[in-house]
Chain A
Amino acid sequence: MVLAKNIRDENGEAMMRLTCTVNGEEQVIDDIWPGESLLYVLRERMGLPGAKNACEQGECGSCSVMLNDVLVCACLVGAGQVEGAKIITVEGLAGEKDLHPVQQAYLDAGAVQCGFCTPGLIIATVDLLESNPNPTDSEIREALAGNLCRCTGYSKIMDAVRLAAARG
């Protein structure tokens, strides 16, 4: 991609134009600082607050999104690295009328307390069930090990994943 080497703000900082597809819609975003993360772009420039900003070091999984069909932490992806990429955030999961089955399962199982970790866990669960529709408990734990929840103790989250798997 071309960095906006010739486009500089009043402090001489380079600014970039980024083109990518987010939740099925092509987006062109201007004035991006080259050192910012995909998470910052989503939350602060596109108004998509679903992916949460917590640790900014990949420890908590709250900012999990799908980047070209791969589960990643949006805080660890450079904005410029997603030029031309396809991104799915939690906002892109539900249909017009219904929630995504995984979202519904989290609600039905009572797996949401404060809700801060929920978007990341739902994205990670969708990713798991796409590759493994009937995971064992240890497979669920392994797949969700990168997502921290400080409220629930994870029992209800496990219930929600089992429920989503059982409903197919």
Chain B
Amino acid sequence: MDFFRPQSLQDALKLKSEYPKALCINGGTDVMVELNFDRKRPEVLLDLSAVPELSNWSDEGDSISLGAGVTYTRIYEELAKELPGLAMASRTVGSLQIRNKGGVGGNLGSASPAGDAHPALLATGASVIVANITGRRAIDINGFYLGPKKSALQPDEIIISILIPKAKGGQEFSKIGTRNAMVIAVTSFGIAIDASAQSVGTGIGSAGPTPLRAYEAEKYAAENLDWDSYTPVSVVVMKEFGGLVAAAAKPIDDVRGTAAYRRHTLSVVSARCLKWSWQKTSEMKMGRP
């Protein structure tokens, strides 16, 4: 095994094109586990943690450009206002030790359906910016996840950043697990309301081969929310929305939970998330009651 620690993005991309089988490592919270347990023995380890561009974020007007290696700790400390859903999800990642190292780029690179960042990225309509030696391209988040631990990232590409629209309404994230810390989600759910477009975005985690959107639920919510006077979400709408989210999931039985339990919890937490995010939207638009 060889180890490269490029100091610039250009050098990193050069190395990735020369060694397309190189395994990228940044925070190490996934990759080191694979190495420690002998599950992966890449010929080349490409350490991206010294590449400055990957550990910064910038304000792009309507969006935040989030470097792939910006840690979860920094996301909730620095971007909770602009990216509330992702910040909430970031607070639930592992433990402080994990949040101090891990970032969204690694969550995308691993493409585990249980990754905590995915629901917020799907709900807000993020784009993943990847690059190879010849240039950059943006991958719509809806086309990024191809299967369990499979993504649209090509072998010669590196995830550079994630372009995430700033919140234009309430956002929420909920995660089901056996305790608060150190939990791989049994299920998770993210919602982002866009009060300008009068639309609702969703993301389901840990309940399918990939993170999923609940398109029918989004459409139903957008049609049944009171965009004029922001009256609270009725119990009927909550229940219907929760049912549509559960129906959009494609869960399996595994060690963390049964498919039936996953559907049930999704229907409950998604209904609550709709209620809370709508309340926040109302407070943003109408002022506190």
Contacts and interface: CB of A to CB of B under 8 A. Distances in A.
Interface of A: 1, 3, 5, 13-14, 16, 33-35, 37, 56-59, 61, 64, 70-73, 75-78, 80-81, 83, 124, 127, 142-143, 145-147
Contacts of B27: 76
Contacts of B181: 142, 145-146
Interface in B10-31: 25, 27-29, 31
Among A80, A81, A143: residue with most chain B CB under 10 A = A81
B35 interface: yes
Among B27, B96, B182: residue with most chain A CB under 10 A = B96
Contact of B100 (A1, A37, A72, A147): A72
Interface stretch (B41-49, B129-137, B209-217, B244-252): B41-49
A85 to B, nearest CB: 10
Nearest to A120: B97
Contacts of A71: 96-97, 100
Interface residues of B, number: 29
Interface in B166-202: 180-182
Among B33, B95, B180: residue with most chain A CB under 10 A = B95
A35 B37 contact: no
B97 A77 contact: no
Contacts of A16: 3
Contact of A35 (B1, B4, B96, B182): B1
B36 interface: yes
Nearest to B100: A70
A35 B95 CA distance: 24
B5 A13 contact: no
B96 A78 contact: no
A146 B3 contact: no
A81 B182 contact: no
Given A34-B3, A58-B29, A59-B182, A80 B101 contact: no
B41 to A, nearest CB: 7
Contacts of B101: 70, 72-73, 76-77
B228 interface: no
Interface string B34-68: 01110001000101010000000000000000000
Nearest to B6: A1
Contacts of B32: 37, 58, 75-78
B95 A145 contact: yes
A5 B45 CA distance: 12
B98 interface: yes
B2 interface: yes
Given A34-B3, A77-B101, A78-B45, A58 B96 contact: no
B36 A56 contact: yes
B94 interface: yes
Given A35-B35, A80-B3, 9 more contacts: A3-B2, A3-B3, A14-B1, A34-B3, A71-B96, A72-B97, A72-B100, A78-B45, A81-B28
B35 A3 contact: no
A14 B3 contact: yes
Contacts of B2: 3, 5, 14, 34
B3 A78 contact: yes
A37 B36 contact: yes
Given A61-B97, A145-B96, A146-B96, A83 B36 contact: no
Contacts of B4: 3
